[in-house]
Amino acid sequence: MTGYYLEAENATVFYANIMPATSARTILAILMGDPVTHSKSPAVMSAAAEAAGVDMVYTACRVQSSDLAQAVDAIHALGMVGANVTIPHKERVISFLDDLTAAARAVGAVNMIFRDGEGRLVGDNTDTVGFTAPIREQGLASALVLGTGGAARAAAWACATTLGMDRVLVCGRNTEKAEQLVVDLNTHADSSVQRAPWEDRSRLAGTVDLVVNATPLGMAPHVDASPLDDPSHLSAAQLVYDLVYNPAETRLLNEAKRQGARTQGGLDMLIGQAAAAFHQWTGKDMDLDAVRRALTT
């Protein structure tokens, strides 16, 4: 076995070489965020590259806010194919880019950067594609989106435009943020997103085809939390979509199932947004089964 030795505090440690072979043609993409140690993106992209036979390295880089401009410059300087962007940089990164796609402009957040034919850095929002993929064939006409952050913006925009819903309600605990979201989305897209009071969310949840949790309520380690204080309004006619993917079965989804509703967890969205980025950077489709296997083993 090949490897190398490093002096640790009281011992010499042998590190085995477990990295796949790279070459002078290896392409590079990164995730930039802070923190990044929890991210599943390197596992997703590495599995996708291996399955597609793409000579690519994808790694997560902790980028502090004060270093964001230099990190974006590094995409140019090091000839990377692109980057993913995560918390807390999705909005601020926009000011360092050359252009935005229509989705990124409307949502006001970038989670993926690619280089166009002229080498300019373009920001896109593939959360919208990832959100839509698992639910697009379900004939949904109305939605309630819980939350007013980046994921809520992507979900509300996708419901109002890609999915062409007639009625899209957004509610969040911060009224000003909810109002701003509605103004921004209705300015940049041909949509009619409406704000709804946070206190009315449980009752309103019973009036739509689709309920979306775009808050971290229910995410590990706070698995006992749920964005709906009263799930009894849910019914079998509805789909409840939790963007949280850890745990796979959140309290909201369990309660929705008990009411007979169909449910959708956040893992497919995570994979879907990555698949759109992978295709943009490499021209190849992501092998979704290979990626799912990599995430569950």
* Integer Cα distance of 11 and 193 in angstroms: 61
Q: Looking at beta carbons only, is 166 or 230 nearer to ligand NAP?
A: 230
Q: Does 243 bind ligand NAP (CB under 6 A)?
A: yes
* Total residues binding ligand NAP (CB under 6 A): 24
Structure tokens that stand for 262 in this block = 């169909």
Q: Looking at beta carbons only, is 206 or 218 nearer to ligand NAP?
A: 218
Which sign does the torsion angle of CA 233, 186, 161, 121 carry? Answer: negative
Q: Does 244 bind ligand NAP (CB under 6 A)?
A: yes
Q: Which one from 40, 90, 177, 257 is the annotated catalytic residue? A: 90
Identify the residue among 148, 161, 238, 250 touching ligand NAP (CB under 6 A). 148
Q: Does 250 bind ligand NAP (CB under 6 A)?
A: no
Asked if 190 contacts 161 with a C-beta cutoff of 8 angstroms, the reply is yes
Residue 90 known to be catalytic: yes
Query: Strand, coil or helix: what is 142?
Result: strand
**DSSP for residue 221:** T
* Integer Cα distance of 231 and 227 in angstroms: 9
Q: Looking at beta carbons only, is 82 or 149 nearer to ligand NAP?
A: 149
34-50 per-residue burial string, b: 16 or more CB within 10 A, e: under 16: bebeebbbbebbbbbbe
Q: How far is the CB of 154 from ligand NAP (least distance, A)?
A: 7
Catalytic residue numbers, as ranges: 90
Where does this chain bind ligand NAP (CB under 6 A)? Answer: 127, 130, 147-152, 172-174, 177, 214-217, 219, 243-245, 266, 269-270, 273
